Amino acid sequence: MEQSNKSGFNSKLGVILAAAGSAIGLGNIWKFPYEAGQNGGGAFLIVYLLCVILFGMPLLMTEMLIGRKAGKATFSAFRAISGSNRWQWLGWWSALTVFIITCFYFVVTGWCVNYLYEAVANSYAGMGTDELLTHFTANMSNAPKMIICAIIPVLCTAAILWFGVSSGIERLSKILMPLLLLMMILMSIRVLMLDGSGTGLRFFFSPDFSQLTPSVVMKAAGQCFFSLSVGLGLMITYGAYMPKEQDVTKTSFQVILLDTIVAVLAGVIIFPAVFAFGFDPAEGPQLVFVVLPAVLQHMSFAWLSGVAFFTLLFIAALTSTISLMEVIVVSIMELSQGKLNRHHSVLISAAVICVMVSIHVLSMTGLWSGLQLFGHNLFELSDTLVTTYMMPFSALAMSLFIGWFMPFQDNDLVPHSQKRYKQWLRPAFVFALRWIVPIAIILIFLNGLGIFKL
């Protein structure tokens, strides 16, 4: 990757903003509540939080440290660090995973665009629970409209990458993200005042351990990698632009804390509302897009709240799509061995993504919804494949690669601190990476696949 395109990252705040921008997105506000709703509420939350501490923290720190050490983005970093091409496949695996994520992520970003438009036009105002559900389905079956809605964010992201202004967007998000947080706090207060919200809070916060099946654990682990954008080596890119004196532990901790706060807050808005309005928590991917309009209608300044919320959600999604599409752009440039420049690569990626996103939209509408594999359409298949299998697998490979095969001296790649109270950090970190992360992921896999019973 050309360093020049990322200029502006050379400040501490820049890296934190970019990493947090990549992490916080639809994964927190759309995916987390729907996964929690389908997988036992409180039980899912507990496992999720455990995974964040056990997997998210060591992996995020490592990725940033690798980047800082290698001073290079993902692909070249693997080669530079291992000194051979043996681990190159991991780079390609990441790129493939990111590509699949990008395809369905833009579809959901398109839903945001659609609801932003509806918020402006005030068209979901006054709808009840059932109406909101049929309204969503009606929207989805309008393929041309949904394709246009999904292509708009593809073009926005491509434009941002083309002009190399992503650091500008991240700076903008410094103002907008706190606003999103504020908006979500106001919404949660409103929701908690609704009759019957207690049931939702209990569903989300008091774990029913009988719900804790192997597949719930697998989904929660996958969701942790997805939400933190961790395990694919993506954060290596951000580490590469990190000033040497920046405290990696602190930066990762801040990113993780912010990401988790946003996810939990999304749950605090969605679940009380689900029970108060009579939705089904296991509604699936459409969950938040039917519940949020219901909540927003009940806010004071309803129109303004709706427009503000969906605008902020769209920006949060964009800072994530920037980080996703950037990987694809860089991969194409690497693949062409320098024959294609950044602009060519942005054009090619945008074209391919537009086609793939359209196919994903069509897979959900009447036209192609008959085409199913394992009982899922293409959209659900991409979503599940990535979250439950591909991301945990690459996180496993990454921890083995770094923990066991890295020829560098440990010193460079583990966080260490002069402060005495932080002395435990280094051994704990090495131990987590070498043993806890790989063994736990393998056990979760075997358990989830029914090969091994925990």
Using CB under 6 A, list all residues that contact ligand TRP: 22-23, 25-28, 98, 101, 226-227, 229, 232, 234, 320, 323-324
Q: Mapping DSSP to helix (H, G, I), strand (E, B) and coil, where does residue 453 land?
A: coil
- Tokens 């395809």 map to which residue? 103
Contact 219, 44 (CB under 8 A): yes
CB of 226 to ligand TRP, least distance (A): 5
3-state secondary structure 349-375: HHHHHHHHHHHHHHHHCCCCCCCCECC
What minimum distance in Å lies between the beta carbon of 298 and ligand TRP? Answer: 26
CA 173 to chain CA centroid, Å, is 16
Helix axes 166-192, 197-205, angle to 10 degrees: 120
Phi/psi class of residue 8: alpha, beta or left (left: φ > 0; alpha: ψ in -120 to 50)? Answer: left
Encoded tokens for 436:
């806890």
Here the tokens at position 146 are: 């949904």
CB atoms within 10 A of CB 90: 20
Residue 53 half-sphere exposure toward CB, CA atoms < 13 A: 6
CB of 320 to ligand TRP, least distance (A): 4
Nearer to ligand TRP, 260 or 358 (CB): 260
Choice between 101 and 333, CB closer to ligand TRP: 101
Residue 389 CB contacts under 8 Å (≥ 6 apart), including other chains:
222
Nearer to ligand TRP, 319 or 358 (CB): 319
- Map tokens 């983005």 to a residue: 73
**Cβ distance to ligand TRP smaller for residue 181 or 425:** 181
At closest approach, how far in Å is the CB of 324 from ligand TRP? 5
Give CA–CA dist 51/185, Å, rounded: 25
Give one word for 83, left, alpha or beta, with left for phi > 0 and alpha for psi -120 to 50. left
Q: Tokens standing for 423? A: 């002395």
Region at 155 (left for phi over 0; alpha for psi -120 to 50; beta for the rest): alpha
Cβ nearer to ligand TRP, comparing 149 with 230: 230
H or E element: which one contains 407? none
Nearer to ligand TRP, 116 or 276 (CB): 116
Smaller CB separation from ligand TRP, 101 or 294 = 101
Burial class (CB in 10 A: 0-12, 13-18, 19+), 178: exposed
Residue with tokens 């059932």: 130
Sign of CA pseudo-dihedral 158, 164, 170, 175 = negative
Q: Which residue number places its CB atom closest to ligand TRP?
A: 27
Is there a contact between 322 and 237 (Cβ–Cβ < 8 Å)? no
Q: How far is the CB of 23 from ligand TRP (least distance, A)?
A: 5
* Cβ at position 319, least distance to ligand TRP in Å: 8
Least Å distance, CB 235 to ligand TRP, is 9
Distance in Å, CB of 155 to ligand TRP, minimum = 18
Q: Judged by CB, which is closer to ligand TRP: 5, or 321?
A: 321
**How far is the C-alpha of 153 from the C-alpha of 86, rounded, in Å?**
36
Can you spell out the DSSP letters for 372-399?
Answer: -BTTB-HHHHHHHIIIIIIHHHHHHHHH
Minimum Å distance from CB 326 to ligand TRP? 9
Beta carbon nearer to ligand TRP, 40 or 392:
392
Least distance between ligand TRP and beta carbon 371 (Å): 26
CB of 451 to ligand TRP, least distance (A): 26
How far apart are CB 101 and ligand TRP at their closest, in Å?
A: 5
232 vs 329 by CB, closer to ligand TRP:
232
Tell me whether residue 75 or residue 226 sits nearer to ligand TRP (CB atom): 226
